[in-house]
Every structure is written in structure tokens, then in C-alpha cells.
Structure 1
Amino acid sequence: MKRFTQGSVHQVIKCKAAIIWETGKPFSIEEVEVPAPRAHEIRVKIVATGICRSDEHVIHGLLSGSEFPIILGHEAAGIVESVGEGVTGVKPGDKVIPLFMPQCGKCVYCRNPNTNMCVNCSIGKSEEPKDRIVTFMCKGKQIHRMSNISTFSEYTILHESAFAKIDAKAPLDRVCLIGCAFSTGYGSAVNTAKVQPGSTCAVFGLGGVGLSVIIGCKVAGAAQIIAVDLNKTKFAKAKELGATDCISPHDYDKPIHEVLTEMTNGGVDYSFECIGRTDSMVGALQSSNFGFGTTVIVGVAPSTDKMAIDPMLMLTGRTLKGAFFGGWKSKDWIPKLVSDSIAKKFSLDELVTHTLPFEKINEGFELLRAGKSIRTILTF
């Protein structure tokens, strides 16, 4: 593959990327053309990228707004190769984390302290403004991008609102998790739910996000953290990270919310759905205390799914909420979370079960589908 050299800032780079050509098909490693960065853009060499369940949803056409062929990937870390006109605060050689949740700092959302949304966020949009579309090419065809970052590519283009510069000492094959899984789960506990010391929590789903919720609950001082999953092989890791109890719905002849209600004398203070299933979202809500419980939807469900609930569940005092990316304003908080990781405030090592070369991306997704991995990191 062609590598960049001094003076490549205004040149197209040819590199390898994993493309999904059609819905439901495996990844195909191809040579793609990555354009030079325009004004207010940077070009980044991706060093490590994680495999997320949201990527799997796109493969099977379960998230609206995705077009094929497409380069997926949204949880990564890399090194700046070149910068476009007008970009400040970052230079070639700096380490960065791409942001699927951007932060322009200027829009009505960025100026509001109660949300981490941004007008530049691609979530919920069917298409991007023509002047913002980044065109990757392969075999003469335009390749679409996921969340405007597409990290399953050796190089990618990022708008200045969609990256965070991080500490030069950061290990990229670990802090890449701060680009999605860890920040989403950890923030859901400490930001969105605002878990209080001495409280009770239930976490539905023990993937990378759910385990990160457990870390957040423990850091926040929760007294009881109940981990819920069908896959009992994940229980040891959950307890290692702070879960006090682990239960499987398969072990009971009653709905799991009834089990949790009995375990906690009326329901948990906080419940978190980290699977992306509407039935477990309702179960999480039902498991929270009817007078003051808070339920946070963390998992991303297929866009075709709908959730129906009895209004009485809410009328009596429960709170149901959700947040992308754990509520963090990304450019402000990602560098701080990376610094906390370096300072050992929390460990990311326990979330990584597999590390594979990028060319084995299909093997990584098979591990995800089989429930054999927590997080698989792909390295270039």
C-alpha cells in the first residue's frame, strides 16, 4: 500500500480499508483512495479500532440512514498525518481520538450544558450537507462513511469538530475504547444517571458498554451492583470490575424484573439497559423502584423496533432517560478521560479480550456474534 511521505498533505492517499458492499455481506479488504484534508479537516492514520455492536447493526441494515457500500468503525485512536487550512491546536504527529459525537462548540446544543448533542452530529440525519461530504473512492465507486469518521480504514478524514487531541503518552490500543464503549457506559452511570453513594443498580448486558457501566457505578459508590446477562461466562469479569451479584434470566421461572424487585426490596435505584433490545428496556424500567427509580437506555436498538410501556410505570415516579456517548461533551471530556486512564483511575485492559490484525476483521465480528468477546481491538 502507498504510504504518505513529506509533502503528501495535498495528495490522495491509497490505503487499505474494510468495506461492506451490500447488506449482510462480510467485510472485504480493499484499496481505497482517501482525499487530502480540506479546510477545517485533518487526515489521521488509524492505529487501533474497536468492534462495536452498532457496527453489526449497520451490517444488517438495522440502523436507519446507512447507505452501501460503506466503511464502518467509530471507536478508534490514531495519529494526525496532515491538517487542512484553518485547523488549530493539532499538528502532524499528535495523537487523537475520532468523535462520532462531535462538538463544534458554537451551536445551540453545544452551548446548552444539559446535552452533549451537536448540530454536526450525524445521528438521526438521512444525509449530510453537500459541502461536508467526504468522498472515499474504491474501484471507481464512492464509499459511504459511518458517523462521518469511518475508522475501519487505515486513514480517515475528520472535521475539526470530530476529533479530540489526547496525551502523547496514551496507549492507542487501549484508549481507543474511550471513543465509544467505555465513555458510553461509564458516563451513563456518572453523568446521565448520576449514581449516588450507597445506591442499588442493575446492569442489563455485560458487553464492553455494560461492564463500563459497572465501573462507573463502582466509582460513584453504589452499594449493590447487580449484573444481568444470559451468558454466565461474563459473570467473573463483571464481579472483577465491581458487580456484587450476577444473575441470568434462564435461572428463574419468573420475569427478571420481579427477581430484581425482590432482591432490592421494591426495585433498584438505577437500572441500565446495555443490550439494545426493547423487551429488556421495558424490563429494566420495571425493575426500578416505582417511586423514585431511574432507568437509562444505553443500548442501541434496531431502528425498526418500537417500545410500548404501561404509562402507570412512569406516573408513579420513575424516570426514563437515555444519552448517546454517556452524556460527555466530547472535545471537552475525552482528553480528561484519557488522562484519568493514564493515572489509573480506571483500567481499560479488562475490557479487551482479543487483539487482532486489521485483516482479520471478519473473525473479530464472529467473536462478537458468538458472545466470545467483550471488546476486540483491531490494529493496523
Structure 2
Amino acid sequence: MSTTSQVITCKAAICWGLGQPVTVEEIQVDPPKATEVRVKVLCASICHTDLTSLQGFPHMCFPLALGHEGVGVVESVGDEVTTLKEGDVVIPTYIGECETCENCVSGKTNLCLTHPVRLNGLLPDNTSRMSIRGQRLYHVLSCATWSEYFVSDVNYTVKVDSAIDPAHASFISCGFSTGFGAAWKEAKVESGSSVAVLGLGAVGLGAISGAKSMGASKIIGIDKNEKKREKGEAFGMTQFINPGDSAKSVSELVKEVTGGMGVDYSFECTGIPPLLSQSLEATKMGTGKTVVVGIPAEPTVSLGMLSLLLGRTMKGSAFGGLKVRSDIAIVANKCLKKEFPLDELSTHVVPLEDISKGFEILKDPNCVKVVIKISH
């Protein structure tokens, strides 16, 4: 029997306010409206953005249904949905692509003006399909994946091949794809160039993989966790710098291994404010380019202006510059062909009921990504 018109009661990870613990509780998920789909979640994963959402970024709206990385099966569709059907395997995205607005046709950006990033925790009609004890629930961006079911607007939902590994699909719904796209689409790394990647989490490893695929000859991974050396090498890193081993700055260490010149491209994947200037200073004077993908813990940061005035470029990036209609399909196809060693990312698995344990696991030096198994 179709459940399209029925409210579903299920479990989800909820935070009631700043400083409050994350709890798994029963919630209600309404049927999808005309341009929406309701998705039964297979698995999800923890991203750094989920942690910042508990601190009030990108909004201060609570109670909050958590999670934005994940993969699931379409359970029901709205009356006007023609591109997806029940049973399709999909991943959520936090940007859309109308293919007709000024930004989409420009070829200069992946940030659609018709379907922009949702920063208020609600669906495009400024309502929510999720509630708890009669109270509206907000989500981090376009949906909430740490839930057995969620509803998303179809423009923020992308179909993937059902043969894809669920954990891999979850990784490419945000973190890994963001790094990969930053090297591929934002920086457009040139063959034979040099690259520095600051922070070797899933995003940083994605940037290494993207730089490798573009033909970079020197790919320097930078992380204070010595255990990330092996991970970086698995994705294509050629050199590793542990800044904890030296009193010198990151930029000085990078210049030491590049003949004093710095790299052609750097990718700041940590969100640590002082490293913004360091990532810029680590690039070549006059031509160096820095792509910022790490979410800062502070709303404003200081920046070494001299580095900019000496001809370097710094660019912010959302979702690594990837367009969801065309580019995600390419990344997903590479996953299916095992072109990325994504099993290296999946270091820990927890059931939804133990989500709080997942936060503790993140402190483990061996942890890269925590996969959340969603039970039904």
C-alpha cells in the first residue's frame, strides 16, 4: 500500500539547542508536497558541518534534525515530480541547478540563483515536513539525513546508480566531492603543477584525489595527525608535512620543499582561522591560487593582506564548484569504477541509536569518516 499520503513516525537524531546533547527520538515526517520526494535513508555519515551546526552555523534555529550527508531510496514523490520515481536511489545535495539562471548558464559558478543554498533550515517554501511532538523541526541545510526518513525538494536530490556502495554514496553527497571538485572545478589544477592540501580529512583527501586526476606532479599533504600520512598516500599524496614536528609555520615548511617558491595551488580544508593566511602564503607570489573549503569556527578571520597584494588569489568554494546535474554523475561513475579508494574513508560504523558514540569516535586519531547505519 502506498504511503504517499501518510505521515510516517520514525527515529531521528535531534538537538534541542546550543550546548544541548544529541538525542535519538521519535519524530513525524509528513508526505512530500508537489515538487518534493520522501526518502527512506540507507546510511549517512558525519561531516564537520554537522558539528558546526550544533554551534549555531549556518543558523540558530532549533530544535534541529541533524545530518546532511547520506543516501536513500525514494519512498514517495509529489504530484509534480517527473525526474524521480519510487525506488530510485538518491543522494541529497545542498545546492541545486536550474540550468537556466544567470549563474547556471555563465559557466563561472555552481551556485544556482533559482535553487540557492538553504541557510534557514527549511525547505524552499520556508516550511518543514519534520516535527516532534507537534513542534516544527529545522534541518542543517536542505534536509536531515540522520533520520530514518526525510523530505527534500526534488531540485536538491540526485539519482545515483543503485549498484553504488551506500557508504561511498554518502561520502560523495558532500565531503569527498567538495574536495575533489575544489581541485577539478574551482582551481582547475594544471598538469605538472604543485599542490598543498591543508587538513587530510575526507575533504582534504578528496582534494588530493582531484589534484592527482588533473595531473599534478607534486601533491603535499599537511596534517598534525601522523596517521593521516598513509591515508594521503592512498589517494595520491607525494609528500607529507606534519607541522607539529617543527616550530616553523606551514607556509615556511611548504616553501622548504618547493625550492623556496611555494606551490601553484593550495586548498584550505580545516577551517582553522590562522591557516587561511598560511595557505595563501604557501602559494607562489604573483600566480598562486588558494581555494578555501574548510568552514571556519569564527564568522570573521584576519588575513595577511601582503600575500594578496603580491598577486596571489584566494577563492571560496561551495560543494567544490560541482554542478549537481552534470558533475555529480561523473563523480558517482568514478566511484562505481573504483577510481577512488573510498574504503579508506570508512573507518568506523555506528547505528543511529549510538550517534553520540560517533562524536567520541571522531576524536580517535585513526578516524576519517563515521558511517551511520540507519535502522528501520
Normalising by structure 1, what TM-score?
A: 0.94
Please tell me whether residue 154 in structure 1 is matched to residue 148 in structure 2: yes
Report the Cα distance in structure 1 between the residues aligned to 2:121 and 2:354, rounded to whole angstroms: 30
Please tell me whether residue 288 in structure 1 is matched to residue 283 in structure 2: yes
Report the Cα distance in structure 2 between the residues aligned to 1:151 and 1:174, rounded to whole angstroms: 15
In structure 1, the residue matched to 2:52 is 57
Please tell me whether residue 33 in structure 1 is matched to residue 4 in structure 2: no
Report the Cα distance in structure 2 between the residues aligned to 1:17 and 1:126, rounded to whole angstroms: 19
| Partner SS state of residue 20, structure 2 | coil
Please tell me whether residue 238 in structure 1 is matched to residue 238 in structure 2: no
Q: 1:140 to 1:180 in 2, by over 3 A?
A: same
| Partner SS state of residue 326, structure 2 | helix
Aligned counterpart in structure 2 of residue 88 of structure 1, from 59, 82, 100: 82
| Partner SS state of residue 331, structure 1 | coil
| Code of the aligned partner of 1:178 | I
Aligned counterpart in structure 1 of residue 296 of structure 2, from 293, 298, 301: 301
In structure 1, the residue matched to 2:157 is 163
Per-residue deviation, 1:237: 1.2
Aligned counterpart in structure 1 of residue 304 of structure 2, from 295, 310, 330: 310
Task: Judge conservation of contact 1:163–1:331 (CA < 8 Å) in 2.
Answer: no
5+ residue gaps, structure 2, are: none
| Partner SS state of residue 291, structure 2 | strand
Report the Cα distance in structure 2 between the residues aligned to 1:221 and 1:289, rounded to whole angstroms: 19
In structure 1, the residue matched to 2:335 is 341
Task: Judge conservation of contact 1:205–1:273 (CA < 8 Å) in 2.
Answer: yes
In structure 1, the residue matched to 2:263 is 268
Task: Judge conservation of contact 1:268–1:287 (CA < 8 Å) in 2.
Answer: yes
Q: 1:128 to 1:105 in 2, by over 3 A?
A: farther
Deviations 1:56-75 (A, max 9, x none): 011122x1423111011111
Task: Judge conservation of contact 2:121–2:139 (CA < 8 Å) in 1.
Answer: no
Please tell me whether residue 44 in structure 1 is matched to residue 3 in structure 2: no
Q: 1:37 to 1:367 in 2, by over 3 A?
A: same
In structure 1, the residue matched to 2:322 is 328
Tell which deviates more after alignment, 262-271 or 131-140: 131-140
| Code of the aligned partner of 1:57 | T
Tell which deviates more after alignment, 126-135 or 283-292: 126-135
Per-residue deviation, 1:19: 0.2
Task: Judge conservation of contact 2:32–2:129 (CA < 8 Å) in 1.
Answer: no
Aligned counterpart in structure 1 of residue 136 of structure 2, from 138, 142, 149: 142
Report the Cα distance in structure 2 between the residues aligned to 1:149 and 1:100, rounded to whole angstroms: 8
| Code of the aligned partner of 2:92 | P
Aligned counterpart in structure 2 of residue 115 of structure 1, from 109, 116, 128: 109
RMSD of aligned alpha carbons:
1.7
Aligned counterpart in structure 2 of residue 254 of structure 1, from 245, 248, 272: 248
Report the Cα distance in structure 2 between the residues aligned to 1:334 and 1:64, rounded to whole angstroms: 24
Q: 1:148 to 1:251 in 2, by over 3 A?
A: same
Q: 1:121 to 1:72 in 2, by over 3 A?
A: farther
Task: Judge conservation of contact 1:149–1:157 (CA < 8 Å) in 2.
Answer: yes
Report the Cα distance in structure 2 between the residues aligned to 1:198 and 1:142, rounded to whole angstroms: 52
In structure 2, the residue matched to 1:3 is none
Task: Judge conservation of contact 1:278–1:305 (CA < 8 Å) in 2.
Answer: no
Q: 1:107 to 1:127 in 2, by over 3 A?
A: farther
Report the Cα distance in structure 2 between the residues aligned to 1:8 and 1:92, rounded to whole angstroms: 11
Deviations 1:21-54 (A, max 9, x none): 1212221111110000110101000111110011
Task: Kindly tell me the number of residue pairs found equivalent between the two proteins.
Answer: 372
Aligned counterpart in structure 2 of residue 214 of structure 1, from 193, 208, 213: 208
Per-residue deviation, 1:176: 1.2
| Partner SS state of residue 108, structure 2 | coil
Per-residue deviation, 1:347: 2.8
| Partner SS state of residue 109, structure 1 | helix
Deviations 1:177-232 (A, max 9, x none): 11001110101111111111111111100111111111111111111111111111
In structure 2, the residue matched to 1:361 is 355
Task: Judge conservation of contact 1:136–1:144 (CA < 8 Å) in 2.
Answer: yes
Per-residue deviation, 1:281: 1.1
Please tell me whether residue 226 in structure 1 is matched to residue 215 in structure 2: no
Report the Cα distance in structure 2 between the residues aligned to 1:256 and 1:43, rounded to whole angstroms: 46
Aligned counterpart in structure 2 of residue 16 of structure 1, from 11, 25, 40: 11
Please tell me whether residue 76 in structure 1 is matched to residue 70 in structure 2: yes
5+ residue gaps, structure 1, are: 1-5
Deviations 1:221-262 (A, max 9, x none): 111111111111111111222111111112112212112112
Report the Cα distance in structure 2 between the residues aligned to 1:114 and 1:276, rounded to whole angstroms: 24
| Code of the aligned partner of 2:23 | S
Per-residue deviation, 1:126: 4.5
| Code of the aligned partner of 1:227 | G
Correspondence 1:123-134 to 2 at 5 A:
123=118, 125-126=119-120, 131-134=125-128
Per-residue deviation, 1:121: 2.5
| Partner SS state of residue 232, structure 1 | coil
In structure 2, the residue matched to 1:172 is 166
Task: Judge conservation of contact 2:121–2:142 (CA < 8 Å) in 1.
Answer: no
Aligned counterpart in structure 2 of residue 200 of structure 1, from 186, 189, 194: 194
Per-residue deviation, 1:9: 0.4
